[in-house]
């Protein structure tokens, strides 16, 4: 039974997005980024759908995310974008997850571990070209690649970086980062005498905004889920239903803190969704759709509920569907309303909300 509050995932929309992405990608390999529960969409179901749609390469942030997918039967190549800590080497290797090498120390430690177990393992090397998060500093790549040559149990098969502001198409940062990444690639070729098998820096914005001719893989998250570019369709919708309806007299307040006070007699409806589901308190300034009409939120968002003004919605009754993320108000609307980004709106939607997968 699907509970009243549920997320619907539309595989037809996913398929549409993949088709558009593949047309643009040409020969470039697509990595589907499924970290953080596939941006709230459901990691296993999305990974399996991507496999079915011919995306045989996945990206997660953490080792435990990759282990979970393996245990559920996902066999695609999985790159752990955040790399592995020392205490994660065992599950990393045993589950055939490829780590990103994000600093010099971890390369040495992983090599030692592999030597001890008499194994070899493929890795991607991340270059910090300006993000200053993970990666070997762009001006230290020559020294590092020479060290890496000595780590004979590591099989470096990829070089990668990450854009700071790919969404700002004209930003100088993008040019600088691209140059630094190309310099690192030149050093790689000089030291290893061949090009790496995988070269990647583009996320969704980088992929749509730039036409880089020297990369051969793109790491795409938000575009796959339907946001950011014309022609893409949002994959996720969030629905609930009216749990109760109340008359509120002029001067009475609604929800915690008395933040909302009725200016006249009104009718409110209780919607069983709250920040305990990942629907942010900051979303309280938005409206939801009920019976095709807009109903403003008139309460602080509680852990499990919020209340809406339904005074002018004729014939409203308990059980009527409430669309929170849908065609009229997509995740972009809630991002604006809440002062955040689409990624956060989607990713926060947690497993307490049941998911229903359509069009598989």
Binding site for ligand PLP (CB under 6 A): 33, 81, 162, 203-205, 219-223
Query: Shortest Cβ distance from residue 305 to ligand PLP (Å)?
Result: 31
What is the smallest separation between the CB atom of 130 and ligand PLP, expressed in angstroms? 14
Retrieve residue 334's tokens. Answer: 């809630």
Q: At what angle do helices 141-150 and 104-116 cross, to 10 degrees?
A: 10
State the nearest-atom distance from the C-beta of 163 to ligand PLP, in Å.
9
Minimum CB distance to ligand PLP smaller for 124 or for 355: 124
Q: How far is the CB of 53 from ligand PLP (least distance, A)?
A: 17
Q: Please report how close the Cβ of residue 246 comes to ligand PLP at its closest, in angstroms.
A: 41
Q: Which of 28, 35, 98, 237 is catalytic?
A: 35
Residues 6+ apart with CB under 8 A from 120: 114, 153, 154, 155
Choose between 4 and 197: whose C-beta lies nearer to ligand PLP.
197
C-alpha distance from residue 344 to each of 36, 37, 338 (Å): 10, 12, 10
201/300 with CB nearer ligand PLP:
201
Q: How far, CA to CA in Å, does 68 sit from each of 48, 63, 64, 75, 204?
A: 13, 9, 6, 12, 25
Q: Which helix (H) or strand (E) holds 108?
A: helix 104-116
Q: How far is the CB of 40 from ligand PLP (least distance, A)?
A: 12
Cα separation, 222 vs 228, in Å, equals 7
Q: By Cβ distance, which residue is nearest to ligand PLP? A: 221
Looking up tokens 């996902």 gives: 74
Q: At 280, give phi and psi (nearest 5°).
A: -65, 145
CA atoms of 187 and 198, how far apart (whole Å): 15
CA dist 186 and 215 (Å) reads 13
| Cβ closest to ligand PLP, residue 9 vs residue 81 | 81
Cβ-based nearer residue to ligand PLP, 134 or 273: 134
Cα separation, 243 vs 231, whole angstroms: 36
Quick one: 163 or 305, whose CB is closer to ligand PLP?
163
To the nearest whole angstrom, how small is the minimum distance from the Cβ of residue 32 to ligand PLP?
Answer: 10
- Is 256 one of the catalytic residues? yes
Q: Give long-range contacts, CB 8 A cutoff, 24+ apart: 68-76.
A: 68/43, 68/44, 69/34, 69/43, 69/44, 70/95, 70/96, 70/97, 71/95, 72/44, 74/44, 74/47, 74/48, 75/51, 76/47, 76/50, 76/51
Give the nearer residue to ligand PLP in terms of CB position, either 21 or 310: 21
For β-strands 121-128 and 154-160, DSSP reports them as parallel
Q: How far apart are CA 222 and CA 7, in angstroms?
A: 17
Catalytic residue (choose from 12, 169, 250, 256): 256
Active site residue 24: no
Residues annotated catalytic, as ranges: 35, 256
């Amino acid at each position: 039974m699907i509970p009243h509050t549920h997320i619907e995932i539309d595989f037809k929309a996913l398929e549409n997005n993949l088709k558009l992405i593949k047309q643009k990608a040409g020969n470039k390999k697509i990595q589907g980024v499924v970290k953080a529960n596939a941006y709230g969409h459901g990691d296993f179901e999305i990974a399996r759908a991507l496999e079915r749609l011919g995306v045989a390469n996945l990206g997660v942030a953490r080792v435990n995310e990759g282990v979970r997918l393996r245990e559920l039967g996902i066999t695609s190549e999985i790159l752990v974008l955040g790399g592995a800590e020392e205490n994660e080497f065992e599950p990393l290797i045993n589950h055939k997850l490829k780590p990103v090498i994000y600093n010099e120390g971890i390369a040495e430690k992983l090599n030692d571990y592999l030597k001890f177990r008499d194994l070899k393992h493929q890795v991607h090397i991340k270059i910090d070209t300006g993000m200053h998060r993970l990666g070997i500093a762009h001006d230290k790549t020559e020294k590092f690649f020479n060290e890496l040559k000595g780590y004979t149990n590591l099989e470096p098969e990829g070089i990668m970086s990450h854009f700071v502001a790919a969404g700002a198409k004209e930003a100088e940062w993008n040019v600088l980062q691209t140059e630094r990444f190309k310099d690192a690639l030149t050093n790689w070729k000089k030291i290893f005498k061949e090009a790496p098998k995988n070269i990647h820096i583009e996320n969704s914005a980088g992929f749509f905004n730039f036409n880089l001719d020297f990369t051969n893989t793109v790491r795409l998250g938000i575009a796959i889920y339907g946001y950011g570019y014309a022609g893409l369709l949002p994959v996720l919708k969030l629905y609930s239903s009216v749990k109760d309806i109340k008359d509120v007299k002029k001067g009475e307040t609604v929800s915690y803190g008395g933040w909302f006070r009725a200016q006249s007699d009104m009718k409110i409806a209780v919607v069983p969704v709250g920040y305990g589901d990942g629907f942010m308190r900051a979303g309280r300034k938005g409206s939801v759709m009920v019976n095709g009409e807009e109903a403003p939120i008139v309460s602080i968002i509680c852990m499990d509920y919020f209340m809406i003004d339904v005074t002018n919605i004729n014939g409203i009754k308990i059980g009527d569907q409430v669309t929170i993320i849908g065609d009229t108000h997509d995740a972009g609307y809630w991002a604006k309303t809440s002062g955040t980004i689409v990624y956060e709106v989607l990713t926060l939607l947690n497993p307490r909300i049941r998911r229903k997968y359509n069009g598989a």
